[in-house]
Amino acid sequence: MSEVRTLILRAPGTNCDMETAFAFEVAGSAVEFAHVNELLSREKVLSDHQILAIPGGFTYGDDISAGRILANELRLRLGEDIERFVDDGKLILGICNGLQVLLKAGILQRDGDATRQSLTVAGNDSARFECRWVYLHVDPSTPCVFTRGISSMYLPVAHGEGKVFSEAGLAGALNVALRYADEAGDISAGYPHNPNGSVDNAAGICDASGRIFGLMPHPERHVRGTQHPRWNRESVPDRGDGLQVFVNAVEWAGSI
């Protein structure tokens, strides 16, 4: 397997870049950081990498709406680069603010109409910032590269705008690869198991190829067992639930 190179995108307000880089490094990838301005100036080149990761945070202070400004930069100024990146069979991962960016830039939709946004995120139904651990069910019927071989996860969320919705609903729009659930795996469970009110309990979605994946929970915050909130009271594995997301990506990218 050839060396896999992951580009971690930064912008003003990004704050989960180091954790995301650590997760990819543990999974076996070489990691490079790039501020969005470095891509715009061609100081760094997206095509030199196999994986693009947009980590969590509050880019541009979530001014206008969460992720909107960075999404506009990617869509209007780097759209062709990203299109070629995806057409070359490479991977894109967006976590929390990264999912917000992917949706608002139209990268997850990729329907040929950049002016139409069929799916977006809005403020949580609770009207508050939700910071809690959630149970997640993986839908094995989706083509998502990142969730292969995973049946469930326990990960933290931390967001104020995480409600995934569409006026037409999710059916036929995108593949819901990850859903909020309760301890028993019920994917219809309401608040607080679904912390934001997302339609169909959607926590993570992918495109039709399975190579573009965005999720609101933070897999990079649970790559070690000691990051589990009850690690010193319960018997938990040494590997955190989120690590396999990054392992799957690196293994796939290494086969390109």
- What is the per-residue pLDDT across 219-253, written as a single tens digit (0 to 9) for each? 999 999 999 999 999 999 999 999 999 999 999 99
Token digits of residue 209: 């190829």
Does residue 220 have an active-site annotation?
Answer: yes
Is the separation of the CB atoms in 146 and 213 below 8 Å?
A: yes
> For all residues of the chain together, what is the average pLDDT?
93
**Domains annotated on the chain, with CATH:** 5-253 (3.40.50.880)
Rounded distance, CA 5 to CA 180, Å?
A: 31
Looking at the predicted structure, is the pLDDT value of residue 154 above 60? yes
**In terms of Cα–Cα distance, which of 254, 248, 246, 256 is closest to 95?**
246
Beta bridge partners of 44: none
> pLDDT tens digits for 82-91?
999 999 999 9
Instruction: Note the pLDDT of residue 119.
Output: 80
With cut-offs at 50, 70 and 90, classify the pLDDT of residue 166. confident
Element (H, E) at 108: none
With cut-offs at 50, 70 and 90, classify the pLDDT of residue 175. confident
Instruction: Note the pLDDT of residue 173.
Output: 55
Q: What is the DSSP code string of 143-203?
A: --STTTT--EEEEEEEESS-EEE-TT-STTTSEEEEEEE-TT--TT--TTTSSS--GGGEE
Does residue 131 have an active-site annotation?
Answer: no
Rounded distance, CA 241 to CA 256, Å?
A: 25
DSSP state of 68: H
Rounded distance, CA 224 to CA 29, Å?
A: 17
The pTM assigned to this predicted structure is: 0.95
With cut-offs at 50, 70 and 90, classify the pLDDT of residue 163. very high
Query: Mean of the pLDDT values across residues 136-156?
Result: 97
Strand segments, DSSP code E, in 3-64 are: 5-10, 30-35, 51-54
Q: Where do runs of H (alpha helix) occur along the chain?
A: 17-26, 36-40, 68-77, 79-87, 97-104, 243-253
**In terms of Cα–Cα distance, which of 225, 250, 219 is closest to 240?**
225
Looking at the predicted structure, is the pLDDT value of residue 110 above 90? no
Query: Mean of the pLDDT values across residues 107-131?
Result: 78
Does residue 222 have an active-site annotation?
Answer: no
> Out of 137, 220, 222, 228, which one is annotated catalytic?
220
Rounded distance, CA 98 to CA 92, Å?
A: 10
Instruction: Note the pLDDT of residue 112.
Output: 47
> Out of 16, 19, 49, 96, which one is annotated catalytic?
96
> Out of 137, 193, 218, 222, which one is annotated catalytic?
218
Token digits of residue 225: 């067992």
Looking at the predicted structure, is the pLDDT value of residue 116 above 60? no
Instruction: Note the pLDDT of residue 120.
Output: 86
Distances (CA, A) of 112 to 83, 144, 236: 11, 21, 45
